[in-house]
Amino acid sequence: MPDVLVLVDHDGERVHKSTYELLAAARRLGDPAAVVLGGPGTASRLTEALARHGATSVHAAESAEATEFLTTPAVDALELAVREVRPAAVLVSATTDGKEVAGRLAARLDAGLLTDAVDLDPSGTVTQIVFGGSCTVRARVTHGTPVIAVRPGSFEPEECPVAAVRHDLVLPPIDPAASARVTGRRAALAGDRPALTEAAVVVSGGRGVGGADGFKVVERLADALGGAVGASRAAVDAGYYPHQYQVGQTGKSVSPRLYIALGISGAIQHLAGMQTSKTIVAVNKDPEAPVFGLADYGVVGDLFAVAPQLTDEVAARRA
């Protein structure tokens, strides 16, 4: 079986769920081979979890510099691994950073790139979302090693323990003049909430929420369900909620089990970021809102009446 390289998303201690999804996707094409980029000791800390999810090898690209720069070290690590392993494909998460890594890697390798993949079959044919979510196409890379950015939430993680073999990658020195350096990090607002792209439940608010204060209703429902909070661009642009929570074409793509849209009209650019959610619930006081065309369950009503009742009901059932 050929190797399939998977770029590991992690926080230094914990592998993100999106990586387990990539490992499950990789198993359709060959043997999953994880590429771990991080500071010294990172790969050792993560190997057990990766092997439990089917990684037959772990390529460790450890360097103190790895976390100081944005995408360059990841591209370097993957390029090295591709040249050593000659994999059937390279899979990365279709996050903002992941897509940038994928694009740069494909350019370096002079290879084909497919983004926003939501499915792939053993022949290497990829189902991807294109044109901001308005179409789904099946495509295949015919030139070079396929680089595929997979939407988080598209595959179910699988536990299939194997023994992982470790390989070390020696990263080239980074040219600071040609690479974006991280100058500081700020903690996300989320607190104990799951990350937006990883959450099984996402509750999003739109312009209909009416203000930053109104988002407390959205947060309370998200917390009752153990979910993450998202926002439409209109809500973000109006300053109701920070940009890092924007869902949509120019925000994050999410694919949770349950997506609840509160006061969101359902513009195509918003749908582009959440239409692959397994179950979609919309609350909107306008019965003609386009979001009802996509929703599995629609409630025509005032979100300030509906969401608190839902929150109370969920809390009562969980008590």
- Contact residues toward ligand FAD (CB under 6 A) are 206-208, 232-235, 246-251, 263-265, 267, 269-270, 273, 283-286, 289, 302-304
Nearer residue to ligand FAD within complex by CB, 32 or 248: 248
* Residues in CB range of 92: below 8 A, 6 or more apart: 6, 7, 22, 78, 98, 99, 101, 102, 105, 147, 148, 149, 150
Nearer residue to ligand FAD within complex by CB, 81 or 247: 247
* Minimum CB distance to ligand FAD, residue 258 (Å): 18
The angle subtended at Cα 35 by Cα 53 and Cα 140, nearest 5°, is 85
* Minimum CB distance to ligand FAD, residue 293 (Å): 12
Nearer residue to ligand FAD within complex by CB, 54 or 251: 251
* Minimum CB distance to ligand FAD, residue 202 (Å): 13
* Minimum CB distance to ligand FAD, residue 253 (Å): 9
* Minimum CB distance to ligand FAD, residue 107 (Å): 24
Nearer residue to ligand FAD within complex by CB, 144 or 211: 211
What DSSP assignment string belongs to 93-157? Answer: E-SHHHHHHHHHHHHHHT--EEEEEEEE-TTS-EEEEEGGGTEEEEE---SSS-EEEEPTTSS--
Give me the residue label for tokens 């080239």.
172
Q: Are 279 and 296 in contact (CB under 8 A)?
A: yes
Going by DSSP bridges, is the β-strand pair 201-205/279-284 parallel, antiparallel, or unpaired?
unpaired
Nearer residue to ligand FAD within complex by CB, 199 or 260: 260
Q: Are 125 and 139 in contact (CB under 8 A)?
A: yes
* Minimum CB distance to ligand FAD, residue 66 (Å): 30
Please count the residues of the chain.
319
Closest chain position to ligand FAD (CB): 248
Nearer residue to ligand FAD within complex by CB, 72 or 277: 277
How is residue 289 written in tokens? Answer: 């809102």
Q: How far apart are CA 33 and CA 66, in angstroms?
A: 19
Nearer residue to ligand FAD within complex by CB, 23 or 234: 234
* Minimum CB distance to ligand FAD, residue 228 (Å): 15
Nearest C-alpha neighbor of 57 from the set 92, 81, 79:
81
